[in-house]
Chain A
Amino acid sequence: MSRAVSVCLLKGGIGKSTTSINLARELAHRGNDVLLIDLDPNGHTTTGLGFGEEFYSDAHLGDVLLDDAELEPTELILETDFEIDLLPANDRIEQVESDLGGVMMGSARLKQRVVDPLLGDEYDYVVVDCPAARGKLNDNALYATQNLVLPMRPESGALSGLEKTVKRLIQPAREHFDLEILAVVPTDLRDRIDHERPTRRLIEALVSKPNIASKIPNFGYVDPSFFEAIDDGSWDDDLPKPGIRHRSAIDASIREHMPLRDYDTSCDQLECYDELAQIVETGEVDR
Chain B
Amino acid sequence: MSDDPFGDLDAAMGDSGPSTPDSEADATQEQTTETDELPETEQEVSERSPLEDPAFEFDETVHKALYVLEAVAAEFDDIITYDVERELTRDHGLKNVKKSELHNAALAVIAEHPDLIVDRVLEQRGIDDE
A: residues with CB less than 8 A from B are 10, 12-13, 47, 52-53, 56, 91, 97-98, 101-108, 111-112, 132-136, 139, 143, 154-157, 164, 168-169, 172-173, 175-177, 191-192, 195-198
Contact B10 A106 (CB under 8 A): no
Inter-chain CA distance A168–B12, complex, in Å, is: 21
* 23 A–B pairs (Cβ distance < 8 Å), ordered by A: A12-B35, A12-B112, A13-B112, A56-B50, A91-B50, A101-B22, A101-B31, A102-B21, A102-B27, A103-B21, A104-B11, A111-B12, A133-B33, A133-B34, A134-B34, A135-B31, A135-B33, A155-B113, A156-B114, A173-B6, A177-B6, A197-B129, A198-B115
Is A98 touching B11 in the complex (CB atoms < 8 A)? no
Partner of B34, one of A13, A132, A192: A132
A residues in contact with B20, CB < 8 Å: 104
Binary per-residue interface labels of chain B (94-117) against chain A in the complex, 1 for a CB within 8 Å, 0 otherwise? 000000000000000100111110
Let me know if A105 and B130 touch, CB within 8 A. Answer: no
- CB of A46 to closest CB in B, whole Å: 11
On chain A, the residues within 8 Å of B32 by CB distance are 134
B19 at interface, CB cutoff 8 A: yes
Partner of B13, one of A135, A169, A172, A176: A176
Is A156 a contact of B5 with CB atoms below 8 Å?
Answer: no
Chain A minimum-CB-distance residue to B34: A133
Q: How far is the CB of B73 from chain A (nearest CB, A)?
A: 24
Q: A52 touching B91 by the CB < 8 A rule?
A: yes
Closest A-chain residue to B90, C-beta based? A52
- Number of B interface residues, CB 8 Å? 38
Chain A residues near B27: list those with CB within 8 A.
98, 101-102
Residue of B nearest to A106 (CB): B8
CB of A143 within 8 A of CB of B34, answer: no
Closest to A41 in B: B35
B8:A134 contact, CB within 8 angstroms = no
Q: Does B26 contact A (CB under 8 A)?
A: yes
Known: A112-B12, A132-B34, A133-B34. A106 touches B22 (CB 8 A): yes
| B9 lies within 8 A of A176 (CB) | yes
Contacts of B112 in A (CB 8 A): 12-13, 155, 157
- Which residue of chain A is the closest to B10 with respect to CB atoms? A176
Contacts of A111 in B (CB 8 A): 12
B125 within 8 A of partner (CB): no
Docked pose: A102 CA to B10 CA in angstroms: 16
Nearest CB on A from B36, distance (A): 7
Closest to B26 in A: A101
Q: In the bound complex, do residue A108 and residue B9 qualify as a contact, i.e. CB atoms below 8 Å apart?
A: yes
Assess the B33–A134 pair: CB atoms within 8 A.
Answer: yes
